[in-house]
Amino acid sequence: MVDQLDTPVRSRTPAAHKKPRRSPDSTAGLLAKILLLGLTDAFAVYVLMALFMSEKWLILAVAAAVTVLINWIYLRRGGLPAKYLAPGVLFLLIFQVFVVVYSGYVAFTNYGDGHNSTKADAISSISMSAQKRVPDSPAYQVSVVEKDDVLSLLVTDPDGGVRIGTTGEPLEDVEDAQMGGAGKAVGADGYRTLNFNELLSVQQDITAIKVPLSEDLDDGILQTADGSNAYVFKPVLVYDEAADTFTDTETGVVYAAGGEGSYVSDNGERLATGWKVGVGFDNFKTAFTDPDLRGPLVSVILWTFTFALGSVLLCFGLGLFLALTFNHPNLRGKKIYRTIMILPYAFPAFLAGLVWSGMLNQEFGFINEALFGGADIPWLTDPWLAKFSVLLVNTWLGFPYMFLVCTGALQSLPEDVNEAARMDGASAWRIFRSIKLPLLLVSTAPLLISTFAFNFNNFNVIFMLTGGGPRFSDTNMDIGATDLLITLVYKVAFGQGSGRDYGLASALAVIIFIIVAVISAVSFRQTKALEEVNS
Amino acid sequence: MKVHTTGTTAFGRRSFALGAVSVTAALVLSACGGSDAAESTDSTDLASAGATTLTMWVDAERSPALTDVTAQFKEDTGIEIKLVTKDFEQVSDDFITQVPTGKGPDLIVGPHDWLGKFVQNGVIAPIELGDKAADFQESSVAAMTYEGSTYGVPYSIENIGLLRNADLVPEPATTMDEVIANGKAAVEKGAEFPFLVGMDPKQGDPYHLYPFQTSMGVPVFGTDETGGYDASKLELGNENGAAFAAKVKEWGEGGAGILNSNITADIAKEKFNAGASPYFLTGPWNVPLAQEAGINVVVDPLPTTGDQPAQPFIGVNGFFISSKSQNSLAATEFALNYLTTEAVQDAMFEGGGRPPALTASFDKAAEDPIVEAFGKIGADGVPMPAIPEMGAVWADWGGTELALIKGQGDPAESWAKMVSNVEAKIAK
């Protein structure tokens, strides 16, 4: 969108580039610039407003700075590179850098089940859950009334008595209350009764009303959740703000805020609801020292590399072979073949996983029943066969892409080198190996690297086909022979134990990121060498 | 975007706050092009300011029961309920992560076994059912109770039962041995399978096999004095565990062939609907298709394997209110005072087909013998544990049963290993 701002510049003659003229842009360009920048700014103002409303000050400051920067870049004269680079860099920051940095941040926290939000949230939700209805206490019918902008509860006892009270003012008797149907008091002198719609507009204030049942606070507190019924509650845990502790009203046990993001008693008991805190390198330590993880980790890493490399080689090999075959000039019906070849590419990977897992069913699957005459081959439940099946399915899914890429690359190869080689008497194999393949690799090598990175984290196929199984027997974690690092992360962080652990998941993801980044960086260096050799 | 401004302003400073809010809100809304919402914030008339909107998250399976009910609620009270349909696998996790940011919904619909995680993460608020609790089936309220507080309004109860093809086996049986004998007799007469239960070939299915386990005296968790599950009492490892494990292996592929890990839920359904088996251990969700396929379906009580009743897990669907809802009064009004009425529970049964939790509505629904039979089985059932520790049990439990069904390993040994694994995970 924004990179069109300077369209007129492109039409300048090459000479103009050497010495940029400081002339005004064309009218159309100026209009486009004003329009696009206006739209961007309108959107920015909307975002800033929304951020202001929700009081997100840090993000607000960053967003404001970015807006100013964008305006400065496009309003000033000159600085052409910045004008081209700004949108791309911006999106890179938002969609890549931010995600990586945020995962990195989460990796150093205990974010997960039980440590889900801020400390204030934890305190409020512990207090809320600690309110227990006093056993065998009666239910009261209430009306919400208002006097001098103070909301009160007009309470009808089960035996017909009418009393009124509000936060901090215990219930007291009301004379001559107006009674409605069903024996419920609906109004009192000097008070205005709120109707249902009025209740809704002040609902937060109504649910916050805490009427002491009597002068003695131990009798409990009357609260309503719907503005028409109230019950007597007594907290089983009381929060002491000064000491930052919860005290159990029955046992007297004190839970103090511990450094690990939860309230802990002296004998080590923890309140279930905690909050998010930084934990330093603990998650990374767990990843490397957990005895249940360490054992299978080696075999999982080995298999991950095998799977990723195997997938790339098989897909590329098959794709290239088919591309060469269907590139033959004398072949008829090429278009039909090529279209059919691409079909698996149109299949969503997770769906293919499900379908193949049905087809590979040991007893009822199509493969065993139709292709192997009812044989009993445990495709997905034998460790080695499962690995083979996963590779097979992934090849089926991946070769059309390589077929497409190779077909394109083959067709762009210059025919004259080919002919020259043939003149020199080279065999077809020799031409392929010494001329076509090296030339092909120049354009496809980066794609091979990205395919490797993709398959390194190919969650869908594994999860849908085998779920990582069959399980290893030497660990008590649910990790199996076809688990990749990424499915292992998923299982360790989400599927095991008694909760989701986003912190640990992020730590493991960061480790995977480092592995993939290093491999990609090294490979791209190699590719560069390849290019230089050929050029 | 949601504008909850009317509900949040303090009563006394209302008009001032409204002025300030509406100026900014008008600016914001004009930017995104919404105009009707702005009018309601501008209004100083309290009556029309009650045009509250609630957001409720629901999955595709549960939403049909709710579309009519929410429309009716809007007509009755003026409160609009926006139903947001989300993926069932995702909705509870999204709820847990979104509520603290303030972007979560006011209400969420789902099974009661989410409770433990929700409470642990502090994302739902307790609801006092009051006298209404007595109108519900006891097990449904018990399921919605966690650590002594009620957190949800129940609307339906689900459990498995034993479907019998009455054309193949005319009489009900009470013990699993009789069921197997009947099944084998049917196989001799030409049926393909003596007994069917859908399995996941990767994870087994402890949920469906649970009644046999309870019948032999091996529940997952013991209970504390309030009747809730106690994670410190893992009953899986009690003295009867090994006997049950041996039973599973005996019934498995290496033994009697009653349990077959290659028969997935889909294959089991297909085969039963084709009349290939006299028995199918499953839930009410598979009954309509079987009837359509012309099978003479009868629902039998769950057969016992030991000296105790065969108790299935029951799942109770209900409504939970977010602890951060800005509209908690309206949400409570909807969940507590509207959804608990007989007419609404009737309507939800008609729309969604799940047996109602409200006793009066259930009695009406139970005119259908199938619903009645499932209800009777459910009355003996036990709530699926909602405690977060249950998450530590499934993988090992299913994996071990799967291995036994495949005829691998020594029952007593692998069962003991599973128990120690689960204990280690819970202790973490």
Residues of A in contact with B41 (CB under 8 A): none
Across the interface, which of A45, A118, A197 has its CB nearest the CB of B31? A45
Contact yes or no for B329 and A207 at CB 8 A: yes
HSE-up (13 A, CA, CB side) for residue B404: 31
- The answer to whether A163 touches A174, Cβ cutoff 8 Å, is yes
Predicted confidence at residue A268, as pLDDT, reads 83
Predicted confidence at residue B51, as pLDDT, reads 64
Residues of B in contact with A150 (CB under 8 A): 12
- Percent of chain B scoring above 70 in pLDDT: 88
Predicted confidence at residue A531, as pLDDT, reads 67
User: Tokens at residue B245, please?
Assistant: 């494990």
Contact yes or no for B49 and A197 at CB 8 A: yes
Contact yes or no for A476 and B27 at CB 8 A: no
Interface A-B, measured as beta-carbon pairs within 8 A, has a size of 193
pLDDT-based confidence at residue A530 (cuts at 50, 70, 90):
low
pLDDT-based confidence at residue B22 (cuts at 50, 70, 90):
very low
Q: Is B327 on the interface with A (CB under 8 A)?
A: yes
pLDDT tens-digit readout, A110-161? 998 888 889 999 999 898 888 888 888 888 888 899 888 889 899 888 888 8
Distance of CA A256 to the CA centre of its chain: 33
Mean pLDDT of A406-413: 90
Across the interface, which of A201, A469, A497 has its CB nearest the CB of B6? A201
Nearest to residue B163, comparing CAs of B206, B198, B200, B213? B198
Cα Rg of chain A (Å, integer): 35
Across the interface, which of B123, B147, B332 has its CB nearest the CB of A225? B332
Residues of A in contact with B96 (CB under 8 A): 113, 116
Predicted confidence at residue A496, as pLDDT, reads 64
Q: Is B389 on the interface with A (CB under 8 A)?
A: yes
Across the interface, which of A227, A272, A364 has its CB nearest the CB of B267? A364
- The answer to whether A51 touches A63, Cβ cutoff 8 Å, is yes
Predicted confidence at residue A4, as pLDDT, reads 43
Predicted confidence at residue B405, as pLDDT, reads 93
Mean pLDDT of B227-233: 86
Q: Mapping DSSP to helix (H, G, I), strand (E, B) and coil, where does residue B186 land?
A: helix
Across the interface, which of B323, B391, B396 has its CB nearest the CB of A498? B391
Residues of A in contact with B417 (CB under 8 A): 476
- Percent of chain A scoring above 70 in pLDDT: 93
pLDDT tens-digit readout, B302-325? 999 999 999 999 999 999 999 999
Predicted confidence at residue A5, as pLDDT, reads 42
User: Tokens at residue A166, please?
Assistant: 């509000």
Q: Best mutation site among B1, B4, B11 for testing chain A: the one with the most A CBs within 10 Å?
A: B11
pLDDT tens-digit readout, B101-147? 888 999 999 999 999 899 999 999 999 998 889 999 988 998 999 98
Q: Which amino acid is present at B281? A: L
Q: How far apart are the first and last CA of chain A?
A: 35
What is the distance between the alpha carbons of residues B235 and B422, in angstroms, rounded to a whole number? 11
Predicted confidence at residue A443, as pLDDT, reads 87
Predicted confidence at residue B17, as pLDDT, reads 38
- The answer to whether A464 touches A354, Cβ cutoff 8 Å, is yes
Cβ partners under 8 Å of residue B198, min gap 6: B205, B208, B263, B264, B265, B266, B267, B268, B269, B282
Nearest to residue B19, comparing CAs of B9, B32, B30? B9
Predicted confidence at residue B309, as pLDDT, reads 92
Q: Is the pLDDT of residue B23 over 60?
A: no
Residues of A in contact with B99 (CB under 8 A): 117
Predicted confidence at residue B41, as pLDDT, reads 37
Please give the full DSSP string across A117-134, using - where no structure is assigned. Answer: S-HHHHHHHHHHHHEEEP
Please state which of the ranges A372-381, A397-406, A489-498 shows the lowest mean pLDDT: A489-498
Q: Is the pLDDT of residue A303 over 90?
A: yes
Task: Indicate the Cα dihedral angle B354, B355, B356, B361, nearest 10°.
Answer: 130
Q: Is the pLDDT of residue A20 over 70?
A: no
Predicted confidence at residue A187, as pLDDT, reads 85
Across the interface, which of B11, B96, B391 has its CB nearest the CB of A202? B11
pLDDT tens-digit readout, B43-96? 333 334 446 889 999 988 888 888 888 998 988 888 899 999 998 888 988 999
pLDDT tens-digit readout, A162-203? 889 888 888 888 887 888 877 788 888 888 888 888 888 888
| Tokens 């009764």 found at | A193
Predicted confidence at residue A7, as pLDDT, reads 42
C-alpha distance from A272 to closest chain B C-alpha (Å): 5
Question: Quick one: closest CA in B to A364, which residue?
Answer: B262
Q: Which amino acid is present at A200? A: L
Question: Quick one: closest CA in B to A376, which residue?
Answer: B262
- Percent of chain A scoring above 90 in pLDDT: 23
- The answer to whether A166 touches A153, Cβ cutoff 8 Å, is yes
C-alpha distance from B307 to closest chain A C-alpha (Å): 32
Beta-bridge mates of residue B109? B319
Mean pLDDT of B264-285: 93
Predicted confidence at residue B192, as pLDDT, reads 92
Helices B394-405 and B411-427 sit at what angle, rounded to 10 degrees?
A: 170
Q: Mapping DSSP to helix (H, G, I), strand (E, B) and coil, where does residue B344 land?
A: helix
**A532 vs B53, which has greater pLDDT?**
B53
What is the distance between the alpha carbons of residues B346 and B355, in angstroms, rounded to a whole number? 9
Q: Is the pLDDT of residue B154 over 80?
A: yes
What is the distance between the alpha carbons of residues A23 and A32, in angstroms, rounded to a whole number? 17
pLDDT-based confidence at residue A25 (cuts at 50, 70, 90):
low
Contact yes or no for A363 and B263 at CB 8 A: yes
Q: Best mutation site among B23, B98, B329 for testing chain A: the one with the most A CBs within 10 Å?
A: B329
Q: How far is CA B203 from CA A101, A381, A424, B13, in A?
A: 36, 11, 62, 59
What is the distance between the alpha carbons of residues A283 and A279, in angstroms, rounded to a whole number? 8
Q: Are strands B313-322 and B382-383 parallel, antiparallel or unpaired?
A: parallel
Regarding an ipTM greater than 0.85, the answer is no
The reported pTM is: 0.81
Nearest to residue B100, comparing CAs of A269, A261, A273, A205? A273
- The answer to whether B304 touches B288, Cβ cutoff 8 Å, is no
Q: Is the pLDDT of residue A472 over 60?
A: yes
What is the distance between the alpha carbons of residues A355 and A464, in angstroms, rounded to a whole number? 9
Contact yes or no for A476 and B420 at CB 8 A: yes
Q: Is the pLDDT of residue B173 over 50?
A: yes
**B22 vs A396, which has greater pLDDT?**
A396
What is the distance between the alpha carbons of residues B195 and B52, in angstroms, rounded to a whole number? 53
Contact yes or no for A116 and B122 at CB 8 A: yes
Contact yes or no for A381 and B126 at CB 8 A: no
Contact yes or no for A204 and B78 at CB 8 A: no
Contact yes or no for B28 and A361 at CB 8 A: no
**A476 vs A425, which has greater pLDDT?**
A425
B355 phi, psi to nearest 5 deg: -55, 125
Mean pLDDT of A412-425: 86
Q: Best mutation site among A45, A55, A125, A494 for testing chain B: the one with the most B CBs within 10 Å?
A: A125
Cβ partners under 8 Å of residue B18, min gap 6: B5, B6, B9, B41, B42, B44
Predicted confidence at residue A241, as pLDDT, reads 87
Helices B206-215 and B241-251 sit at what angle, rounded to 10 degrees?
A: 120
B222 phi, psi to nearest 5 deg: -80, 175
pLDDT tens-digit readout, A380-399? 888 999 999 999 999 999 99
Predicted confidence at residue A24, as pLDDT, reads 54
pLDDT-based confidence at residue A306 (cuts at 50, 70, 90):
very high
Contact yes or no for A124 and B428 at CB 8 A: no
Contact yes or no for B391 and A133 at CB 8 A: no
Question: Quick one: closest CA in A to B50, which residue?
Answer: A197
Nearest to residue A476, comparing CAs of B425, B1, B5? B425
Contact yes or no for B328 and A204 at CB 8 A: yes
Q: Best mutation site among B77, B128, B263 for testing chain A: the one with the most A CBs within 10 Å?
A: B128
Please state which of the ranges B4-8, B154-158, B297-301 shows the lowest mean pLDDT: B4-8
C-alpha distance from B173 to closest chain A C-alpha (Å): 29
